[in-house]
Amino acid sequence: MGMTSDASEDTRGELEDTCAARYGELASVGPYGVRPGHALITMVEPHPGHEYAYNRWYEDDHFIAGAMAMPWIYAGRRWVATRDLQRLRYPEKSAVAQPVTAGCYLTVYWLTEDRYAEHMRWTVGINKRLNRDGRVFQERTHVLTAFHDREATVYRDGAAGPRDHHALDHPYSGLVLEVVESESPERRGELLEWLRTRHLPRRLAGSPAAMVTVFRPTPLPSDRMAYVKQVEGVDTRLTLLWFLQRDPRMCWDEYLTGLDTDVERSGLGRVEFVAPFIPTIPGTDQYVAELR
């Protein structure tokens, strides 16, 4: 028995040494820049009566083990929509959230540019393991969960101020998630160009939004977890993140209404979702009692 045990420990030790050596090899090849080439954007609704348990699970376990500890995720931040923030959302009939108030927690992660494929292999594997180990919270609904490729960032102040790779670490007071649908896959490029060169610079001028990042969604792999639905609008949608220096409730009517009207007038598409959030306070249950 002793010999078998010793041999088993030797084999385990050799395997660990081999894996550790491979980390050194992997670090010496491939891109390792600082640009947010990709993003994971996930908006979730905890089931009624499970809000506190969900918040603690996500902050105490999943945010770290299910995301930040993974390769090529280098920044992440959680956001929350309390009842009053949920009521500001529009349009009322949304193809993203039914009802439009669904999805009170939003988490955004930055992934290193050109490392999406490597990260995806890891995330599928770790989520299968977490599920097998009973570390996945079941009492929740994924309203919108998708990986995205970055298309553009538009800055209000040009070269001054934080860059997009700082956005999830900088203490912004609010975030607005906007989903825009182009008239057709062929016109999404035209819609992106209009947003980047005309619409967003005009909207940002003098506003409390320091920057807007624009992404396009990518399809989830076929071996994703069953509780996450496949991404819609892969060929037609653009996802915008507005980073605000003021609480969205303090500047909503003046700066952030009418985004749907602007896009409609362009003739290039329509707005399917505009939703404001404020940052959570890590390690606390602040705002949980204000969700319903």
How does pLDDT run across 172-218, given as a tens digit for each residue?
Answer: 999 999 999 999 999 999 999 999 999 999 999 999 999 999 999 99
Q: How far apart are CA 207 and CA 101, in angstroms?
A: 25
Residue 168 has pLDDT above 80, yes or no: yes
How confident is the prediction for the chain on average, in pLDDT? 92
Residue 221 has pLDDT above 90, yes or no: no
Partners of 274 in beta bridges: 90, 178
Number of neighbours of residue 25 by Cβ within 10 angstroms:
8
Q: Both tokens of residue 140?
A: 């929740």
Q: How is 24-70 classified by DSSP, letter by letter?
A: HHHHTSS---SSEEEEEEEEEEEPTT-HHHHHHHIIIIIHIIIIITS
How does pLDDT run across 11-70, given as a tens digit for each residue?
Answer: 566 656 668 888 888 889 999 999 999 999 999 999 999 999 999 999 999 999 999 999
- In terms of DSSP H, where are the helices of 78-115? 83-86
Residue 1 has pLDDT above 50, yes or no: no
SS3 171: coil
How does pLDDT run across 242-266, given as a tens digit for each residue?
Answer: 999 999 999 999 999 999 999 999 9
Q: Both tokens of residue 150?
A: 């970055």
Distances from the Cα of 225 to the Cα of 32, 145, 176, 262, 267, angstroms: 28, 12, 27, 37, 37
Q: How far apart are CA 274 and CA 258, in angstroms?
A: 10
Domain map of the chain by residue range?
34-279
Give the β-pairing of 269-279 and 73-80: antiparallel
The share of the chain scoring above pLDDT 90, in percent, equals 85
Per-residue pLDDT, 3 = 45
Single out the residue of 234, 251, 117 nearest to residue 179, CA to CA.
234
Q: How far apart are CA 44 and CA 62, in angstroms?
A: 13
Per-residue pLDDT, 24 = 85
Domain 34-279 belongs in CATH node 3.30.70.100: yes
Per-residue pLDDT, 12 = 62
Q: Rounded to two decimals, what is the model's pTM?
A: 0.91
Q: Both tokens of residue 211?
A: 């920057």
Tell which wins on pLDDT, 230 or 181: 181
Least confident of 5-9, 156-160, 185-189, 266-270: 5-9
